[in-house]
């Protein structure tokens, strides 16, 4: 089978924007949607109904939720001590594991170090599954090696915080993923494209990712930003769509 996985930060729970969010999801007909800032179960329930998803889960205490048209054998939130937010573990009926991620926000060296601690705790928590087929998807709130942040495009208060923490931000969180032998799906398939996912009204940073171990990454046939008018209307993030062949 082929799995179509969509990662989407729906911003502040998504209340009042359900039609636009549903349109952005439905346009790429995903099988599984990993949501961030999905803190309104009523909203996720309406989105699932509008997009034909038979299974969904969301809790107000957790940022990450999901919707699926496929069988889900198990799902569980995990919050290691170093993490501000829980990550979500999903086991599909075919045995593929998907981990939904939402790391801490704000661009600064202080928060980047916190994201590194969060990611380290997450990788340690899933170590038992790292030899099996799995994907990590979500809003990592950080830039990949070699990508740059134009400080002039940040809001004034965030620009000041970034400068106070060292002026040049040392982006290291995504390098941790690469050092752990994960492949950045978008960058693998688009070596030179910008792939900006945030903010939708002035896209200039790539914060949303799908990662796979090398043995699984070779089966990624698509990883695309769902931009344009449909992708821009529901949230401050564009959705990210990945397609994995032979997912069974």
> What is the per-residue pLDDT across 213-228, written as a single tens digit (0 to 9) for each?
999 999 999 999 999 9
Beta bridge partners, 243, equal 4, 222
The number of distinct structural domains making up the chain is 1
Sign of torsion, CA 147 148 154 157?
positive
**CATH number of residue 140's parent domain:** 3.60.10.10
> What is the per-residue pLDDT across 138-150, written as a single tens digit (0 to 9) for each?
999 999 999 887 7
Does 155 have pLDDT greater than 80? no
Distance CA 60, CA 44 (A): 11
In 3D space, the residue among 192, 175, 187 whose CA is nearest the CA of residue 224 turns out to be 187
List, in sequence order, the alpha helices (H) in the chain: 18-26, 41-51, 109-125, 156-164, 173-179, 185-189, 214-217, 228-232
Q: Which residue carries 């999903």 as its tokens?
A: 90
pTM for this entry? 0.94
> What is the per-residue pLDDT across 1-39, written as a single tens digit (0 to 9) for each?
899 999 999 999 999 999 999 999 999 999 999 999 999
Q: 26, 49 in Cβ contact below 8 A?
A: no
Q: Look up the domain containing 10 and give its range.
A: 3-244
């Amino acid at each position: 089978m082929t799995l179509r996985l969509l990662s989407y930060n729906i911003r502040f729970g998504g209340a009042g924007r359900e039609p636009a969010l549903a349109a952005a999801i439905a346009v790429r007909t995903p099988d599984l949607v990993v949501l961030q800032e999905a803190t309104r179960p009523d909203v996720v329930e309406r989105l699932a109904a509008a997009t034909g998803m038979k299974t969904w889960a969301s809790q107000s205490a957790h940022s990450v939720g999901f919707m699926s048209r496929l069988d889900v054998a198990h799902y569980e939130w995990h919050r290691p001590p170093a993490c501000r937010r829980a990550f979500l573990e999903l086991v599909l009926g075919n045995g593929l594991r998907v981990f939904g991620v939402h790391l801490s926000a704000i661009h600064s060296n202080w928060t980047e170090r916190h994201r590194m601690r969060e990611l380290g705790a997450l990788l340690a928590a899933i170590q038992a599954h790292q030899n099996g087929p799995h994907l990590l998807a979500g809003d990592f709130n950080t830039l990949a090696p070699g990508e740059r942040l134009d400080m002039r495009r940040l809001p004034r208060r965030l620009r000041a915080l970034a400068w106070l923490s060292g002026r040049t931000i040392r982006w290291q969180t995504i390098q941790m993923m690469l050092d752990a032998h994960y492949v950045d799906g978008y960058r693998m398939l688009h070596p030179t494209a910008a792939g900006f996912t945030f903010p939708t009204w002035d896209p200039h940073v790539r914060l949303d990712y799908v990662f796979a171990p090398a043995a699984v990454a070779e089966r990624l046939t698509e990883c695309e930003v769902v931009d344009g008018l449909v992708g821009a209307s529901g949230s401050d993030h564009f959705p990210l769509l990945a397609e994995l062949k032979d997912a069974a």
